[in-house]
Each structure stands twice: as C-alpha cells, then as structure tokens.
Structure 1
Amino acid sequence: MFKLFSSKFKKPSYGWSGNYSNWNDLTDSIGGYSEVSILDKTRDALLQVKNGTAIYERDSVLFDKIEHPFPLLTCLFKSAALLQRPLHIIDFGGSLGSTYFQTKRMAGPAICASWNIVEQEHYVTAGKEHFEDDHLKFYSSIEACMQVQKPDLVLLSGSVQYLPEPHLFLKKLAAYNFDFLIFDRTAFHQGKQDRLTLQIVPPEIYKAAYPSWFFQEDNFLNHFTDNYNKICEFPSYVEGEAVLSIDQQPTGYNKGFYFVNKSKHA
C-alpha cells in the first residue's frame, strides 16, 4: 500500500507539496493509511488477482498486464544464489501481497521459501483472512515475524518514506544484521536535508492524503555503510517515477538499492 504517484500536469490537484517541520501537526487533519476504504479497495483488487480474474494490481489499481520489476527480481535471484537456497523474505509495508503476486511467477519456491508481510494491524487481519497460506504470511512487526521465521532478506518497496521517524527505523533495521536489504521505489530529493511533504493521491486511485518524506541520499545511505556493501542502485520500474515534482518543481526522484551484509558475504 505504501506507494508513490507522479504528476504530469502543470497545476495538479494531487502530488507532493510543502516543506513541513512536524509530522504530527501534518497528520492532524488527514486520514492517511488507516482509511478503511483504501484497505477495502486493495483487498477487492488483489482477490481478483489471487482468484485469476485479473492479471496484476498496483496501488489498488488493476492492470491487464504484469509489469515485471526486473531489478528487484535480479536482487532476489542473486541473494538466493549467494545462500545456495531459497530465501525467507520480509516484505515491510507489503500491503496484502502486491509484490508477492507480482513476482511469484518469476521467483517461485526455488527462489522464495516464504514471503512474510509486515503491515498495520488492519492489513494483517485482512491478509490472514483472505490471502494467507503456507507460503504467504502476515505479521504486525519484524519482531513478530522473527519469532516464527528466520528471515534472510528485507524488502522495503515504497514504504520507508511513510514512517513518522524513518531514521530511527533505518538504524534499527541495520542493527538486525539481515543478510540482504532491498529498497525499491524510495523517494529522494536534491536538497541538503530530508524534506517532509504532503502527498495527495490521484482521485482515480482513491481519496487520501498523507505525509511523505523525501530523503537526502547520503544521509540515508550512511545507516548501512558499516555493516553492508551497496551492490547496486536502480531506478523505479514504474513509468513516471524517475523524476518526481514537489511544488510543481522536478526536484525529487525515485530509486532503489541492494545491500549485502559484509560479515556474512565477504
């Protein structure tokens, strides 16, 4: 569910705006991700994918053709090859399985031994009711997943920029010492500091607005320099996300990184 959208119009009624100093002040008047309607729309769309009546879903919208995220798939294949076995994956902020269903045809059981989604409680409840099986699981925290599973890789696709205190999370994430980390569709900008914006979702997706960070890239990467090697970086696979406009200025961009643990894979 944690995804990005870009504007193609000069004066959009949606997109990113502002440069806010306080997360809590910004959230006072907006519903954000707790909106039940967002969950319902995502659930209904993904149930069609699960049941075979639709091909592909992204951000609750159905498509007639899968858009394969080849950089992400390459990182998954490389990780499985390094371990010489299938991966146990945590998909942090993975909705009800959007990326799981998107990649399962290319990265089946030979690559992914289990796919474990960490999400908000209401998503976990819906996931367990409608989507969970022997391979796809749902948890309310990384710690809850680790009590059941021993994850090798954490995937964070368009999710970190929607956390109220992302750098505290990133510091904690690095300290877990997982074998592999993949960031995909993560928002950065050209400024010297992180920038907190208000994102308004295009109305054809759903009606919602929420805080959204744009990171300063060097500060973001500093969390991982001690424990991880950055193997590669890559642009978003989604058309229109290579450049993101803030206040109608093309100062943001969307990209991903693949990190491999130094101590485990020299």
Structure 2
Amino acid sequence: MFKLFSPKRKDIQYGWFGNYASWHEAAASAGGYDSGNILQKTKDALLQVKNGTAVYERDSVVFEHIEYPFPLISCLLRSAALLKRPLNILDFGGSLGSTYYQVKDFVGTDCCASWNIVEQEHYVNCGKANFEDDHLKFYHSIDHCLLDTKIDLILLSGSVQYMPAPHDLLKKVAAYNFGFIVFDRTAFHDGLYDRLTLQTVPPEIYEASYPSWFFNKEGFLNHFKSNYNIICELPPFVEGESVISIDHQPLGYNKGFYLLNQSFNA
C-alpha cells in the first residue's frame, strides 16, 4: 500500500526525501516494507475487519467509518459490465486484502468473481493462514496466479513505486495482455526522469522507511501505448492525497489510470 503522509513542517522528519542515484543507495538507509512489525499490525487490523469488530483498514490503521474508493469502484463495475460477467481480479501488492475488504460489500459477487493477491512470501503465508477462502486467494507471483485463474483485470494500487525495477514490472504487465489494467494511488512528478526518494512513515503508524519512486508520467504510460487505451485518470479517493511533498516541497502528486486493451470489442 502507498503510505500517504506528507509533512508540512520542516522539523518533521517523515515523508519523502532525497533524490537517490540507485535503489541500492536508497535501500542502504531504509528499514523496508518486509519488516515483521508492519505485517503484524496489518494482520491485527484486517482481522478486526474480517471479524466485524472494525469496518475499515488502511495502512494498518483501523477506522470507524469506511472510505469507499469510488474511482476504483467505477472501473470495476464498468469492466464487469463490458464483459457481461463477474471479474477475476489480480491485486498486485494487495497486502492481506485491504482493498478487497474495502470494496467487496459495495461491488458484490455480481462484479467480482474472485480476488487474487500477489504479495511477498511472508504476506502470502499469513494470508493463506488467516484470510484465504473460496473468493480471496494469495499467490507468490503473477505466473502462479495464472496457473489457477484466468485474470480479467489487474489492479496495481500503490505498489509499483515500491519495486526495485518498476519498469521491468510495467513491461511484464503490458505483455500479459490483460483485458483491463487499473493503476491507483501511484506517485508521479513533473520532472523529466523518474525520481527515487526515501520514504519515512510516521511512527504512530509504524516504524519503517523504504525507497519510493516518483514517475515521469509519459515514461510510465509508454509501456502501454501499443496495446491499451487510457479510458480515464483516477483522482485520489481520500481528501488531501493529491499533492505529495518531497523534501518539504509540493513536487509530487498521486493519481491512477484505467486502461482498456485495444483488442477488447466493447
């Protein structure tokens, strides 16, 4: 998940900082997303949601009121309507089901036939042990998922910017030729090149820092121009997430895209 906490005061040392030359250089200063404390907090929060003692979780924090991601929900509903059947969804980097639990009651089984999460090994193990059922599944890779399920739509929500080689992933996603691609909560900036920063999470959330990319939009979307049409851009669903400060300056922004395969006859 994309941790959107952008400080405004210059004495606060969390948020996004730096302009690193390589992933290795940034990672040397980071305490990454694979930390056990993050998994445990996320597990505890989502078990509350699953068991009905909380209604909504985001970035391991539980809330009393759910915030529906209506831009994303619109993409899911439109895709199911175009196919005239429920979708098999692959959620790349979907944690233990944060987005699944956020949207499942709203979209229902008429829209979503299955929700398949691809994550790091320890998340997959935890997911299989605590959350997996007939509808929600966990996999170590896209290829492992495709062995079980023919995927209609791939969702990448706040995950691409945390990959060591994000453009390799984007090329791979384009090559799978899925019918629909949704990028949500993805970080961009107006520079000519991608920028690599170090993100530090507020300690009240959890203790962690990790490398985080801000993409040049044109370079990001170039991977899909030969076989996809951009149907629309997705605004952030939470107020205040549009602008992201880097080194305390409003240089980044958060948005998404809904892509339709050109071979799809709608």
Normalised to the residue count of structure 2, the TM-score between the two structures is: 0.98
Partner of 2:94: 94
Query: Hey, what does 1:191 align to over in structure 2?
Result: 191
SS of structure 1 residue aligned to 2:33: helix
Distance 1:8 1:239, change over 3 A: farther
In structure 1, the residue matched to 2:215 is: 215
Query: Match for residue 104 of structure 1?
Result: 104
Q: 1:217 Cα deviation (Å)? A: 0.5
Aligned to 1:182: 182
Q: Which residue of structure 1 lines up, in the alignment, with residue 59 of structure 2? A: 59
Cα displacement string for residues 121-141 of structure 1 (whole angstroms, at most 9, x for unaligned residues): 000000000000000000010
Does structure 2 conserve the Cα–Cα contact (< 8 Å) formed by 1:90 and 1:117?
A: yes
Q: Where does residue 172 of structure 1 map in the other structure?
A: 172
Q: For 2:7 and 2:49, locate their aligned partners in 1 and report how far apart those are by CA, in whole Å.
A: 27
What is the CA distance between 1:2 and its match in structure 2? 4.3
Q: How many aligned positions are there?
A: 266
Counterpart in the other structure of 2:118:
118
- The answer to whether the Cα contact below 8 Å between 1:11 and 1:248 also exists between their aligned partners in 2 is no
Deviation by residue 1:76-111 (Cα, 9 ceiling, x = unmatched): 000000100000000000000000000011111100
Is the 1:20–1:26 contact (alpha carbons within 8 Å) kept by the matching residues of 2?
A: yes
Mapped to 1, the partners of 2:5 and 2:160 lie a distance apart of: 15
* 1:61 to partner: Cα distance: 0.3
8 Å contact kept, 2:232–2:257: yes
1:229 alignment partner, SS class: strand
- The aligned amino acid for 2:154 is V
Q: CA deviation at 1:9?
A: 2.8
The aligned counterpart of 2:261 is: 261
Q: Which residue of 2 aligns with 1:162?
A: 162
Partner Cα distance (1:8, 1:68) in 2? 26
Question: 2-side partners of 1:30 and 1:188: how far apart?
Answer: 21
CA distance in 2, matches of 1:259, 1:101: 23
Separation of aligned partners in 1, 2:116 and 2:87: 11
Deviation at 1:73, TM superposition (A): 0.3
| Alpha-carbon contact 2:2-2:186 (below 8 Å) kept | no
Q: Distance in 1 between matches of 2:84 and 2:110?
A: 10
Question: How far apart are the structure 2 equivalents of 1:105 and 1:161?
Answer: 28
Asked whether the equivalents of residues 5 and 202 of structure 1 are also in contact (C-alpha less than 8 Å), the reply is: yes
Q: Helix, strand or coil for the counterpart of 1:39? A: helix
How many angstroms apart in 1 are the aligned matches of 2:27 and 2:134? 37
Contact 1:170/1:223 (<8 A) preserved: yes
Aligned-residue CA RMSD (Å): 1.0
User: How far apart, CA to CA, are the structure 2 residues paired with 1:64 and 1:8?
Assistant: 26
Cα displacement (A) at 1:7: 2.1
TM-score with structure 1 setting the length:
0.98
Report the Cα offset of residue 26 of structure 1: 1.7
The AA in structure 1 aligned to 2:78 is K
Cα distance between partner residues in 2 of 1:2 and 1:146: 25
The equivalent residue for 1:146 is 146
2:32 and 2:4 mapped to 1: Cα distance? 13
- Between 1:27-36 and 1:241-250, the stretch displaced more is 27-36
Query: In 2, distance between residues paired with 1:265 and 1:123?
Result: 37
> Matched residues, percent identical?
68
Unpaired runs of 5+ residues, structure 2, are: none
Query: Unpaired runs of 5+ in structure 1?
Result: none
Deviates more, 1:238-247 or 1:69-78: 238-247
Counterpart in the other structure of 2:69:
69
- Residue 136 of structure 1 is matched in structure 2 by 136
Which deviations, in whole Å up to 9, do the C-alpha atoms of 1:210-244 show, x marking residues without a partner?
A: 00000001111111111000000021112221000
Counterpart CA distance in 1 for 2:3 and 2:34 is 14
2 CA distance for matches of 1:223 and 1:28?
Answer: 29
Residue in 1 aligned with 2:46?
A: 46
Q: Please identify runs of 4+ aligned residues in structure 1 that moved more than 6 A.
A: none
SS state of the match for residue 6, structure 2? coil
Question: C-alpha distance in 1, partners of 2:117/2:156?
Answer: 10
| Kept after mapping to 2: 8 A contact 1:93/1:119 | yes
Secondary structure of residue in 2 paired with 1:89: strand
Q: What is the CA–CA distance in structure 2 between the aligned matches of 1:257 and 1:203, rounded to whole Å?
A: 31
Partner of 1:133, secondary structure, is coil
AA aligned opposite 1:254: N
